[in-house]
Amino acid sequence: MSRTALVHLLQRCSAVLLLAGCASVPTPSEPPKRNVILFIGDGMGVSTVTAARILAGQRSGQPGEENSLSFESFPNVALIKTYNTNAQVPDSAGTMTAIVTGEKTRIGVLSVAADVKRGDCETALARPLVTLLELAEERGLATGVVTTTRLTHATPAATYAHVPHRDWESDTELPRAATEQGCRDIARQLVEFDRGDGIEVAMGGGRTRFLPSTAVDPEYPSERGMRGDGRDLAAEWVAAGAERHYVWIARAAGSDFVRYLASTCGTSSSASSI
């Protein structure tokens, strides 16, 4: 199946860790541009693009420098300044926050204002920044997060979570004081996301942040969950909806995974591997 077909399929299905039940998406009469997909090449600066351009050209039999990557021929191409308000060399937490909220902020914080110091739970609770994903959900649009890293990693997490420290991925990674003040870990914020009807698609890694420490990882028996609160966030998410699914890829599925996505539309809640 082509990438285009996969994109169309994901637009019809709901998912979390890696897949949830299918949901119907209303087709608006206008505007003609129905969907927006924001691709982030984490750390993809000018030097990285240059290296990729040359390598791609050389692999196609050219010297390399005269080659052009697909996105370099887009109608609109621009450069942006990547920095944090307190750092010249930024990290993905502050920069992704800028992309999805429109505001620059400090290094190491996720979708909270620039006056929130790293690790300052109390101020962070009072100074969240609204993200594009939250705005889309409030307007009734279907949303999703797909990543090659952990779902709780800084770049995907900035779209749905608000924390003063990017490393607060599970409850065991929060200081006790932050927990007592009411801060929630990133994994919990994903599952408890309450804007609109919730995130429809979430695909990525980081399963242990969603499982209790008593749970054996279903794919790697030598590993256990990381959560100290005893909660199984994946199970909680499935239980919250009639057509929700939680699955993992237990092997290199390729097109089989795409066929499984298609076959799950309209089935009941479950947890399984493919």
Compute the chain's Rg from CA coordinates: 20
CB 169 within 8 A of CB 150: yes
Beta-strand runs (E) in the chain: 144-150, 201-205, 245-248, 270-273
CA 16 to mean position of chain CA atoms: 10
Locate tokens 């926050």: which residue? 97
> How far apart (Å, rounded) are the C-alpha atoms in residues 114 and 96?
13
Cα dist from 117 to 50, 96, 113, 120, 152, whole Å: 35, 17, 9, 5, 20
Active-site residues: which are they? Answer: 92
